[in-house]
Structure 1
Amino acid sequence: MSTTDRVVPLKVPLDGTSLTCAQVSAIGSGRATVTLGSTAAADRSRRAATALAGPVYGRTTGVGANKDVPGQQGLDLLRSHAAGAGPLIGPERATAMLAVRLNQLLRGGSGLDPALLPVLADAINSRAIPPIREYGAIGTGDLTALSTTALCLVGEIPWNGPTFPLEPTDALPFISSSALTLADAALALHDLRELLEASIRVTARTWQAVQASMQPLADSVQRTDVATALRALLPATNPTRIQDPYGYRAFPQVHQAAFTALQNAEISVTTAINSALENPLITTEALHNGNFHTGPIALTLDTLRAALTQTASLSTARLATLMEPAYTGRLPFLAATEGASGLLILEYVAQDALATLRQLATPVTTGGAVISRGVEDHAGFATQAARACLATREPYEIVLACELIAADRALNGPEPDRPIDIEAARRRLNSPD
């Protein structure tokens, strides 16, 4: 790559108020770096924290069931909580987590030393990756992930990033956050938005291939953004059927429900990554609270996965019609010769991916947990909901890719049977062209 061809990363200003899911994705992937906005809110919170008198959770006391035990835990707290398990998470998720936590700290309310903030920005921009393991949170704070990060900062765990002398009173303020959960959710939501938009383009090709009726898209029938977008992509059709299967007739409302679920999740996650969800929240006093709890976010993510499964099932239904001569006017399975299997295997692949989506749609919010000697007696499990949303990206994309291959064959006519390249179709989904 020449100097003139080198891609210059975008710069995302972090100010504690305006970070988006798309920006979290860009930062996590390395397509963007961060610049530090005003630290005034963090400065005010720090001054208030140093002036506090009386017991303050995690600063002058233990945590959890030890909330009434006086004393500063400091590094001992970080060492006891940096005990995640499982495989290491990837650089994209780790960097996105750092960006979310930095943005929250800029909002103020933690009382943490503001001198740490430019250090975190440097870590993000230099792609310093803390060795965070997958398991260790239940939606009430990513304690293992952030404790591991804090020990990297103080130099106790090796990493490729800067160091910073965290004060003992800053241990809990740094880790009291669900930054990794929120980062995972933001990454998933950004990618799922792109896939839901791609779904409309794929459906338009299938619609043309079978000459489906435009009546379900009429403004008097469906005044939805999905119906409007699909109409704009379709030329006039010449349907021969009174009405088409649900894969066509029900697509506008079912797919709109998926977009609505996505939008609700985006609102919930975006609000959280731009909020001071600190416990205690340091203003002019220490306000002990449960704002770090991510139960409401888990509810929106559960709804989104259920909606994705519904609209993916319509994709497999349309794929089934593309195998039928009555809909395409071509040989069964869109084969090149009579009796050949053609694209039959795509139905197997798509149904396998759809079955995975159904498993991932199992709600996490029906679970519960009571830990720390009964003091922490509820959990929202948004951590698991966000991971599940990340996992839906691949099977959903595969379902769409199978439909896209079949729609292209139905539109363009038979061609000699050869190995089917589903991976190439998946790459095409990421290009509006």
Structure 2
Amino acid sequence: MIVVDGASLTCADVVAVAPGGAAVVLSEEALKAATESYETALVVSATRPVYGRTTGVGANRDALVGTGDRETHDLRLLLSHAAGVGERLDDTVTRAALLVRLNQLAAAGSGIHPRFLQALEAALRTGSVPAVHDAGSIGTGDLSMLAEIGLTLTGHVPWATGHVPPIVLDPGDALAFLSSNAVTLARAVLVGDELSRLLDAAHVVAALSYCALGGASEAFAEQVHARRPHPGTVDSAARMRRLLWHEGDLSPGRRIQDPFGLRAFCQVQGPALEAAGYLRRVLEVEINAAAENPLIDVGSASAYHHGQFSTAYPALALDNLRAAVHHVAELSAARLGDLVEPEYTGLPAFLANGPSGSSGVMILEYVAHDALGRLRHSAGPVTLGTSVISRGVEDHASFTPHAARSAASAAQSYRTVLACELVAAVRALRLDDAIPSGRALARIFTRLADAIPDIRTDHQLGEEIRTAADLLPDLADSAREGP
């Protein structure tokens, strides 16, 4: 049961609710606070111009909305902003967005009628999902997507799944509901969690490659990382020591120095771990924020016009994480190259096991480097562009939605790269008839050997790659556990 109070929602909560799992309940205190915000908005709007309530929006900010026209004006806002183009959002993302928007409204700064909070809670409780199309957002508010949700809540468009009784649209409700980046934040939370889990799983995959390659444990020694103690690198090295069970036993390995894929693993992995942690912290501020413009503040009984709709923080955090993940994926592909090289493994080229000229796992490198190339395209920064729209009034955009979409593409590619390395590492250990000496890693390897088919003659490798990719989330949990 996740209690929505506008202040304590976590990324883990969003991840739990998104697939339709955890139950959601709106706190009575949050509903009361939202009611007070709504009542304050009515008073303030009667005494001074308030953007989107007594005026139009964007370049129409100086156009006054007549008192007899307000409800129609709000409906016009929803209808005109709901473009309804692009691919339909996955239900998981939509449910996450409903939760984020509910929690933001529970922070009680929008002045929206509290019935909107109750309707969102009902949708999450009953599994009702609106049809939301993924287009029209540039990082200054998910206007088109939220307009579609608003029209669904008010009964103007049908639900895609389930049904919640339609609610009345009061004057001022439209902009109060639209003024958010909830959909983008929801997607960022989900992809941030996925990338974080893949980064965790990478420790297990790299540890298996280390064993197959006869790596030297000195690179992970506590003494080494204490002398340049970046938190992510120190954390990564500690995880590798737990998996390999080499504390106090610095095995020399087969070489005086390993290739970078092993020797510099923690130094490259560390920045990615920190980037994932930073993104999580940024998003947990955002999903608990009363960032609607204008802010209706009960304490001062005032409306404040501002720029809190800007999402520069998550945009830059997403750009940073994608770039860091690309570096990590490069090392995974490099280790895969080492695993098919007899000089490093002492095994046949391409881990082949059959007549002369057998290809073994040769194709894994092609698949991995194709995925790495796609990841490289996804890793480019989106925050270098901007836009000037609405007759020049809105002259900056962070393009955070594009950063989140690129992160989802990067996650898919990185998963494939890791899966290819995992298939090769397991095959190398099987061909060498070896079991990792570390107790934790030996248990993991036994589970993997049971799950990944052991076919040593040349054959299609698609099943192994898909199976390995599906196993990565479980490996992430193993990477967090002690020996």
TM-score (norm 1): 0.95
Take 1:55 and 1:330, find their aligned partners in 2: how far apart are those partners?
Answer: 77
Take 1:241 and 1:197, find their aligned partners in 2: how far apart are those partners?
Answer: 27
What is the letter of the counterpart of residue 375 of structure 1? V
2:18 maps to what in 1?
A: 28
Contact 2:218/2:252, CA 8 A, preserved across alignment: no
2:335 maps to what in 1?
A: 318
1:16 maps to what in 2?
A: 6
- Once the two structures are overlaid, the 10-residue window that deviates more, 124-133 or 52-61, is 124-133
2:481 maps to what in 1?
A: none
Q: How many angstroms does 1:240 deviate by?
A: 2.1
Contact 2:360/2:457, CA 8 A, preserved across alignment: no
Do residues 376 (structure 1) and 375 (structure 2) align? Answer: no
Do residues 431 (structure 1) and 458 (structure 2) align? Answer: no
Q: Deviations over 1:172-201 (max 9, x none)?
A: 101110000000000101111111100001
Q: Deviations over 1:34-81 (max 9, x none)?
A: 111122321221121111111000000000001011003210111110
Take 1:395 and 1:49, find their aligned partners in 2: how far apart are those partners?
Answer: 47
SS of 1:77 mapped into structure 2: helix
Take 2:79 and 2:209, find their aligned partners in 1: how far apart are those partners?
Answer: 56
Take 2:170 and 2:245, find their aligned partners in 1: how far apart are those partners?
Answer: 65
1:147 maps to what in 2?
A: 147
1:398 maps to what in 2?
A: 416
Q: Deviations over 1:215-268 (max 9, x none)?
A: 111112124100000011114544121101111111101101001111111111
2:35 maps to what in 1?
A: 43
Do residues 366 (structure 1) and 389 (structure 2) align? Answer: no
Take 1:301 and 1:125, find their aligned partners in 2: how far apart are those partners?
Answer: 31
TM-score (norm 2): 0.86
SS of 1:282 mapped into structure 2: strand
2:353 maps to what in 1?
A: 336
What is the letter of the counterpart of residue 427 of structure 1? D
Correspondent of 2:319 among 302, 305, 324:
302
Q: How many angstroms does 1:33 deviate by?
A: 2.1
Take 2:198 and 2:188, find their aligned partners in 1: how far apart are those partners?
Answer: 15
Instruction: Give unpaired runs (5+ residues) of structure 1.
Output: 1-10
* Counterpart mapping for 1:6-405 below 5 A: 11-37=1-27, 38=29, 39-52=31-44, 53-71=47-65, 72=70, 73-159=73-159, 160-162=162-164, 163-223=166-226, 224-236=234-246, 237-283=251-297, 284-337=301-354, 338-405=356-423
Contact 1:33/1:125, CA 8 A, preserved across alignment: yes
Q: How many aligned residue pairs are there? A: 423
Take 2:64 and 2:260, find their aligned partners in 1: how far apart are those partners?
Answer: 64
Contact 2:59/2:390, CA 8 A, preserved across alignment: yes
What is the letter of the counterpart of residue 42 of structure 1? A
Take 1:245 and 1:103, find their aligned partners in 2: how far apart are those partners?
Answer: 48
What is the letter of the counterpart of residue 231 of structure 1? R
Take 1:419 and 1:80, find their aligned partners in 2: how far apart are those partners?
Answer: 51
What is the letter of the counterpart of residue 37 of structure 2? S
